[in-house]
Amino acid sequence: MKALFRLLVITAGICGMAMTSIQAQKPVYIPASDLTLVGKIISTENLYHRVDTADFPALPPAVKRLLTNSAGLAVTFKTNSTAISAKWCTSSRKASSNMTGIASEGLDLYIKKNGKWQFAGVGRPREDCTEASLVKNMDNSEKECLLYLPLYDETSNLEIGIDPGASIKKLPDPFRKRILIYGSSILQGASASRPGMAYPARLSRATGLNFLNLGLSGSAKMEKAAADLVASIPADAYILDCVPNSSPQQIKERTGYLVSTIREKHPKAPIIVIQSIIREHSYWDQKVGKRVADQNAAIQDQFRLLQQKGIKDLYFISAKNLLGQDHEGTVDGTHPNDLGFDRMLHQLKPEITAILKKYDISADD
């Protein structure tokens, strides 16, 4: 009996030592600024801002605030670590009622498998600054990683955690060319469940092209200062998905300046105009229904007028079937859920890629 007791004590001691050893394997953290930032629109003093608003003082205050959000940005790297963690800080602003905390303020990790990006894990925000495990118990082979940043908050700091002794290396940007998309909250990512499900991010992973997210929630209204900003950004193509935020009158008054200014600064770049999605509210709320119909009629009229004025390389994508026909594609009647974004992807991808191929814009270049 005493011998059995001694054996149990020894076994417990060995197990305790093993547990202590496991607990001691804390991640080693590397600043994400040492790695490759994907989806960057233009250079900024704050790495995780999309635009340095000090360079564009005439922008409306709401636009300036939204440009500090890290929507569309991601970090790419290669590591042989068996676990990946992160530390990150956002502002004290909390997720809106139609967004998950992960989408607004969290992280979304993809790892390449058999040549395709595959979801691997998320970072759930807990405080303004959070440390979290994203994925663990992997093998120690080298893995190509893509970590998406928060869609609806300012990211002030980000560090990537790996096993002690594991390697982590910068990778080249996995996406080619530059396709700038200017648009509404739907473009910014509302209401995807996590950052990598926003439609520009999905388009990039599906095509290998770099779709840059200039989504401005509720504030993509084609103001002159915003149009000047869009036209100043170098890109191979421009997509305008700003109809949902613009009134029919604003569409009539402002579309011409926006398109003409882009064309003046980028004479050969294709410009693609997208109608507003048909809001689910519009099937019941007659006021909403009329507004959406008037918005889409106004942008179609402006498109025709611009063509008549001789604007070349201008394309139009209809709202038809962007969310499907079963009325299950939104969170709140306006913003797509993941199903809605999936339907948007399947509608937009073939139309956009067919246009871009006319200009030799592809991931194969």
Domains along the chain with CATH numbers: 28-170 (2.60.120.260), 176-357 (3.40.50.1110)
**pLDDT attached to residue 365:** 67
Q: How far apart are the first and last CA of the chain?
A: 75
Task: Give dist(CA 35, CA 170) in Å, integer.
Answer: 5
**pLDDT attached to residue 93:** 74
Short-list 68, 99, 202, CA closest to 148: 202
pLDDT in tens, 289-329: 999 999 999 999 999 999 999 999 999 999 999 999 999 99
| pTM exceeds cut of 0.85 | yes
pLDDT in tens, 233-277: 999 999 999 999 999 999 999 999 999 999 999 999 999 999 999
> DSSP string spanning 52-79?
-GGG-TTS-HHHHHHTTS-TT-EEEEEE
For residue 313, the 8-state DSSP code is S
Count of other CB atoms within 10 angstroms of residue 252: 16
**pLDDT attached to residue 96:** 78
Lowest mean pLDDT among 90-94, 127-131, 148-152, 186-190: 90-94
Query: 314 pairs with which residues across the strands?
Result: 271
Percent composition of the chain: helix, strand, coil (DSSP 3-state, to 5): 35, 25, 40
Query: What share of the chain in percent tops pLDDT 70?
Result: 93
Question: Residue 68 contacts by C-beta under 8 Å, 6 or more apart in sequence?
Answer: 46, 49, 50, 53, 154
Count of other CB atoms within 10 angstroms of residue 167: 13
Torsion of CA 85, 112, 233, 236, to 10 degrees: 180
Radius of gyration of the chain (CA): 23
CB–CB of 289/297 below 8 Å?
A: no
**pLDDT attached to residue 8:** 41
What is the pLDDT averaged over residues 27-47?
98
> DSSP string spanning 189-248?
TTT-SSGGGSHHHHHHHHHSEEEEEEE-TTT----HHHHHHHHHS--SEEEEE-GGGS-H
Query: What share of the chain in percent tops pLDDT 90?
Result: 91
Lowest mean pLDDT among 19-33, 156-170, 187-201: 19-33
CB environment 323-354: b (16+ within 10 A), e (fewer): beeeeebbbeebbbbeebbbbbbebbeeebbe
**Strand 176-183 to 237-241 pairing:** parallel
Give the chain's mean pLDDT.
94
Q: Where are the alpha helices (DSSP H) in 86-165?
A: 101-105
